[in-house]
């Protein structure tokens, strides 16, 4: 069993912690995102600073950064520091057009979670069709637009939606690089990287999971990042001057059905509990298991075999460490490194269900005295989850009060 010391809630301590204990699990030199700090305190401050006015008009803007209207809340939403229902409620007084557009995006996040909970690893196989391999060479090194995207991804660990679409389209639609490799590259660096939203985004952009692929050309750069092309070495011989050809698709074999992983709808109590086990899916103070057990110590396991296989950027582990250190100012937090079932052996934990295949695999080997429902924005039901529009029609029947 490997216990780790809890660092102080500041960047330097988080960097030292990751360097000392987790450096063998990351793909880069230990560094934190200059734009994002982990922790409930930072999440609350980011939400308080967000003004939804102008969101609909500006959410797709890219460059210069001052023109952007995206909230930048995704790393906090991804890790449950901000729950979708809370973010939904907070914007209620904004201009109706902006509120509606913003809430639509929150519903996309919820849809991604339902979709992944329903299809699990089957989502990896391409639900509708596959792309035929193309020329397979990314020619972005001299293009200012894509160099900017890569640099922001690898430095900040975050991208606006628009540049995620640019990059994934250039990668897979124009160049025919395998989309799964691109998805893995994003997942490695994004602070908000989730198999649910990232995989859905790649499948949607490339067209393997939607009716049409998204084309990326100079047109979007000039519209969303005016002036960026002016200093580009390739401005007079732009390789993306024209739209890419529609990619060729081949049928994909039907993936076998997966068990639906939406989890319990009421607390499942099997006995007394002595710890709250937090997972990376739900690290906020409002985590249901955490808030129901206010006196209990909290345990978090850095899952060593999983992290060794993922080799994420250190930015994500610094973000998680800051989050746990921040929680440690309010609660007793124990950090472990190893295999969750081994590290939690001998404990009886309260935990919040995480609607992802990895949680479903691990929970069987753990003594869980209480399993709390995942904090959904829309309660799952047993209807099929395929297209956003049909899911949404169905989900709107479960709207919370506004
Ligand atoms: C190829 C690709 C990969 C993506 N990978 C991820 C990922 O790994 N994790 C992730 O959370 N999102 C992902 N997205 C969705 C979206 O790009 C990000 O959620 C958004 O850019 C985050 O920035 P924001 O918080 O400023 O969003 P805002 O525009 O401010 O939106 C508010 C919130 O709504 C949700 N949201 C917005 N757009 C989407 C969307 N298209 N799909 C799902 N949720 C959305 C997010 O939770 C976001 O924080 C991906 C999109 C694409 C095209």
Summarize pLDDT for 282-328 with one digit per residue, the tens.
Answer: 999 999 999 999 999 999 999 999 999 999 999 999 999 999 999 99
Task: Work out the burial of residue 72: count CB atoms within 10 Å of its CB; fewer than 13 is exposed, 13-18 middle, 19 or more buried.
Answer: middle
Ligand 1 centroid, distance to 205 Cα (angstroms): 13
Q: Is residue 133 part of a domain?
A: yes
Structure tokens at 125: 């196989």
Shortest-distance Cα residue to atom 38 of ligand 1: 105
Ligand 1 centroid, distance to 161 Cα (angstroms): 6
Ligand 1 atom index nearest CA of 50:
30
Query: Which SS3 state, helix, strand or coil, does residue 349 take?
Result: strand
Q: Is residue 356 part of a domain?
A: no
Q: Is residue 49 part of a domain?
A: no
pLDDT value of residue 135 = 65
Ligand 1 centroid, distance to 164 Cα (angstroms): 9
Q: Is residue 51 part of a domain?
A: no
Ligand 1 atom index nearest CA of 84:
47
pLDDT value of residue 400 = 54
pLDDT value of residue 252 = 80
Q: Which of 128-137, 149-158, 215-224 has the lowest mean pLDDT?
A: 128-137
Provide the total of helices (H) and of strands (E) in the chain, helices listed first.
17, 9
Shortest-distance Cα residue to atom 18 of ligand 1: 161
Would you place residue 262 in the very low, low, confident or very high pLDDT band (cuts 50, 70, 90)? very high
Q: How many domains does the chain have?
A: 1
| Per-residue pLDDT at 401 exceeds 60 | no
Q: Is residue 240 part of a domain?
A: yes
Would you place residue 398 in the very low, low, confident or very high pLDDT band (cuts 50, 70, 90)? low
Would you place residue 142 in the very low, low, confident or very high pLDDT band (cuts 50, 70, 90)? confident
Query: Which SS3 state, helix, strand or coil, does residue 337 take?
Result: strand
Q: Which of 175, 241, 163, 228 is nearest to 201 (CA)?
A: 163
Q: Is residue 139 part of a domain?
A: yes
Ligand 1 atom index nearest CA of 202:
1
Shortest-distance Cα residue to atom 51 of ligand 1: 201
- The CB density around residue 29, as the number of other CB atoms within 10 Å, is 9
Ligand 1 atom index nearest CA of 167:
1
Would you place residue 270 in the very low, low, confident or very high pLDDT band (cuts 50, 70, 90)? very high
| Per-residue pLDDT at 126 exceeds 60 | no
| Per-residue pLDDT at 125 exceeds 90 | no
Separation CA 39–CA 284 (nearest Å): 8
Ligand 1 centroid, distance to 321 Cα (angstroms): 23
Would you place residue 127 in the very low, low, confident or very high pLDDT band (cuts 50, 70, 90)? low
Average pLDDT, the chain: 94
Q: Is residue 375 part of a domain?
A: no
Ligand 1 atom index nearest CA of 71:
30
pLDDT value of residue 197 = 98
Residue 225 belongs to what domain range? 128-251
Separation CA 153–CA 188 (nearest Å): 10
Instruction: Quote helix, strand, coil % in the chain, to nearest 5.
Output: 45, 10, 45
Question: Roughly what angle, to the nearest 10 degrees, separates helices 161-168 and 144-156?
Answer: 120
Shortest-distance Cα residue to atom 29 of ligand 1: 70
Residue to substitute in 105, 150, 190, 224 for testing ligand 1 pocket (most ligand atoms within 8 angstroms of CB):
105
Torsion of CA 16, 22, 24, 29, to 10 degrees: -40
| Per-residue pLDDT at 167 exceeds 60 | yes
Q: Pairing mode, if any, of strands 333-338 and 3-4?
A: antiparallel
pLDDT value of residue 36 = 98
Q: What is the mean pLDDT of the segment spanning 97-105?
A: 98
What backbone phi and psi angles, to 5 degrees, belong to 345? -60, 135
Contact 168, 182 (CB under 8 A): yes
Would you place residue 259 in the very low, low, confident or very high pLDDT band (cuts 50, 70, 90)? confident
pLDDT value of residue 130 = 83
CATH number at residue 171: 1.10.579.10
Would you place residue 397 in the very low, low, confident or very high pLDDT band (cuts 50, 70, 90)? confident
Q: Is residue 331 part of a domain?
A: no
Ligand 1 atom index nearest CA of 76:
49
Q: Which residue ranges have their beta carbon within 6 Å of ligand 1? A: 59, 70-74, 77-78, 105-106, 108-109, 112, 160-161, 164-165, 168, 186, 190, 192-194, 197-198, 201-202, 205
Contact 288, 265 (CB under 8 A): no
Q: What is the mean pLDDT of the segment spanning 170-190?
A: 94
pLDDT value of residue 396 = 81
| Per-residue pLDDT at 13 exceeds 80 | yes
State pTM to two decimals.
0.97
Ligand 1 centroid, distance to 201 Cα (angstroms): 8
pLDDT value of residue 137 = 63
DSSP assignment string, 169-238: IIIIIIT---HHHHHHHHHHH-TT--HHHHHHHHHHHHSSSSSSPPP--HHHHHHHSTTGGGG-TTTTS-
Q: What is the mean pLDDT of the segment spanning 390-396?
A: 89
Ligand 1 centroid, distance to 398 Cα (angstroms): 22
């Amino acid at each position: 069993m490997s216990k780790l010391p809890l660092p102080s809630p500041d960047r330097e301590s988080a960097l030292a912690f990751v360097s000392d204990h987790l450096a063998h699990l990351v793909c880069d030199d230990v560094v934190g995102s200059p734009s994002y700090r982990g922790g409930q305190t930072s999440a609350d401050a980011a939400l308080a600073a967000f003004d939804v006015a102008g969101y609909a008009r500006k959410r797709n803007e890219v460059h210069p950064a001052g023109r952007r209207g995206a909230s930048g809340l995704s790393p906090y939403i991804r890790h449950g520091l901000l729950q979708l229902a809370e973010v939904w409620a907070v914007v209620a007084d904004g201009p109706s057009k902006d509120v509606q557009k913003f809430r639509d995006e929150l519903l996309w996040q919820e849809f991604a979670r339902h979709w992944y909970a329903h299809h699990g690893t089957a989502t990896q196989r391409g639900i509708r069709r596959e792309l035929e391999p193309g020329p397979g060479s990314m020619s972005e090194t001299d293009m200012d637009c894509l160099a900017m995207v890569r640099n922001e991804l690898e430095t900040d660990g975050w991208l606006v939606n628009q540049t995620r679409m640019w990059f994934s389209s250039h990668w897979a639609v124009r160049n025919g690089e395998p989309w799964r490799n691109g998805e893995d590259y994003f997942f490695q660096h994004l602070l908000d990287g989730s198999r649910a939203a990232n995989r859905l985004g790649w499948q949607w952009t490339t067209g393997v999971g939607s009716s049409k692929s998204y084309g990326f050309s100079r047109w979007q750069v000039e519209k969303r990042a005016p002036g960026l092309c002016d200093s580009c070495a390739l401005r007079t011989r732009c390789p993306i001057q024209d739209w890419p050809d529609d990619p060729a698709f081949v049928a994909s074999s039907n993936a076998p059905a997966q068990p639906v992983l939406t989890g319990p709808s009421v607390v499942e109590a099997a006995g007394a509990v002595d710890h709250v086990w937090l997972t990376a899916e739900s690290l906020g103070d409002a985590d249901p298991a955490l808030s129901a057990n206010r006196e209990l110590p909290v345990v978090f396991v850095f899952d060593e075999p999983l992290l060794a296989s993922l080799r994420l950027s250190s930015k994500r582990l610094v973000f998680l460490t800051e989050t746990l250190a921040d929680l440690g100012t309010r609660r007793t937090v124990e950090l472990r490194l190893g295999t969750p079932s081994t590290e939690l052996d001998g404990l009886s934990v309260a935990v919040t269900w995480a609607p992802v295949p990895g949680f479903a695999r691990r929970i069987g080997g753990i003594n869980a005295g209480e399993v709390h429902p995942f904090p959904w924005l829309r309660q799952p039901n047993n209807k099929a989850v395929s297209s956003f529009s049909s899911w949404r029609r169905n989900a709107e029947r479960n709207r919370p009060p506004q």
